[in-house]
Amino acid sequence: MKFLYVSFRRVLTTLVCSSVLLALSCQKEGNALILPNSGTENYDPVYEYILSLGFSKDKIVDEGRYYTAEGDISFEKQSKTDKGARPSHSVFKGMPVVNYTNVGNISVTVGNNFTSTTWRNKIVTATQAAISSWNNISSSSKIHFDYIPSGPATITVNYDPSLDGSADVARGGMPTNCNASPSVRLAALTNDPNEFNAAQLHFLITHELGHSLGFRHTNLGTNGGTDGGGFHVWLTPETENGSVMNSQATWGYTPQGPSFTQGDQTAAAQLYPVTPYVYANWNSGLNNLTLEWPMSRFCSTTVTVEIYKDGIYDYSLPVSNTGRFVDTRIPGPGSYELTVYANNRDDNLSAFTSVVY
């Protein structure tokens, strides 16, 4: 299980698509699924979308109702009625992060399909502990979960009998439409006290809730993976031992439960700050202007960057909402205002920097 926005470091650019069971007709090449081209009957936009995020084909597994990438990151398939000709990509709107407004109010409940009250109570305790961990990760982060005993919630933690525990014992998802992923699914193995004590269940659910926030595995590049589809969070290390979001770091590695690293804390504060920041800087050695902002501030896959020089409009252009823009021109001396916004020009973040030769 790797880490968030990446260690919170690599954002998981993973959106989950809605709906029901889809039986796909496809071929396999090794472990990689080969699906038909768009416009054909069996074309699958969900699989295409996963590939577009940078996941390697050999890291994607067809598990029936879901595709699973990198071991524990699930994408629900579309229904059969939705899978014909190429659909609108409106089902993938928004960013694979939770919107700035929503991240401060994420409700979590534990489902009722556990096979014993004792087991369910253990999961409730672990879920409440995981929520407390996230809520206290950093005083500079807006992340806040609320546990509710029953009823509709943003996220439901539940037992999934289709998970046999031979590979991963849990599955989380990525944000969709600017909301946290709706489910955390657990295997029966989590009911075995010889495999999971209370602290280890605490760690496991903390990790999966991290995916629901859009955090990808921290050790993408050190566990046979790649950085494809992930964005490096400003001011965090490239890799970090002990990150809660490292892959394959559940039981056995953390007998005391989760303990967030400094990189984890920084990433949570950078991606989901209490107050949205914007940072502009003139890099004299590289002769470029850099603008940084939290991706979660705008529920959009693209934003517009607008630049003014000495109070006069210079130019604007659409860019991917990665939280970073670098103007590679060699700007002339002067005072620069860099503004970023999505759909509403009046709803923007701006910062100033001076270019001096």
Report the distance separating Cα 78 and Cα 19, nearest Å: 5
Instruction: Report the 10 Å Cβ neighbour count for 261.
Output: 21
Q: Which fold would CATH assign to domain 102-271?
A: Collagenase (Catalytic Domain) (3.40.390)
Q: From residue 96, give the alpha-carbon distance in Å to each of 153, 211, 214, 231, 301.
A: 19, 10, 6, 11, 9
For 217, the token pair is 């595995």
Counting beta carbons within 10 angstroms of the beta carbon of residue 229, is it exposed (0 to 12), middle (13 to 18) or buried (19 or more)?
buried
Q: Where in the chain is the domain with CATH 3.40.390.10?
A: 102-271
pLDDT for res 137 = 94
Report the distance separating Cα 186 and Cα 208, nearest Å: 10
pLDDT for res 257 = 63
Report the distance separating Cα 15 and Cα 95, nearest Å: 8
Name the CATH architecture for the domain at 279-355.
Sandwich (2.60)
For 244, the token pair is 């809660």
Q: Please give the model's pTM, rounded to 2 decimal places.
A: 0.77
Per-residue pLDDT tens listing for the chain (357 residues): 233 333 333 333 332 332 222 222 222 233 333 333 434 445 677 887 777 666 778 878 888 888 887 777 878 876 443 443 333 333 344 457 898 889 999 999 999 999 999 999 999 999 999 999 999 999 999 999 999 998 899 999 999 998 877 667 899 988 888 899 999 999 998 898 888 889 889 999 999 999 999 888 877 654 444 444 566 676 676 777 788 888 765 444 444 567 788 889 988 998 899 988 888 988 888 888 889 888 888 878 889 999 999 999 999 999 988 888 998 887 888 999 999 998 888 889 899 999 877
Q: Where in the chain is the domain with CATH 2.60.40.3080?
A: 279-355
β strands within 203-311, DSSP E: 279-283, 288-292, 302-309
pLDDT for res 7 = 34
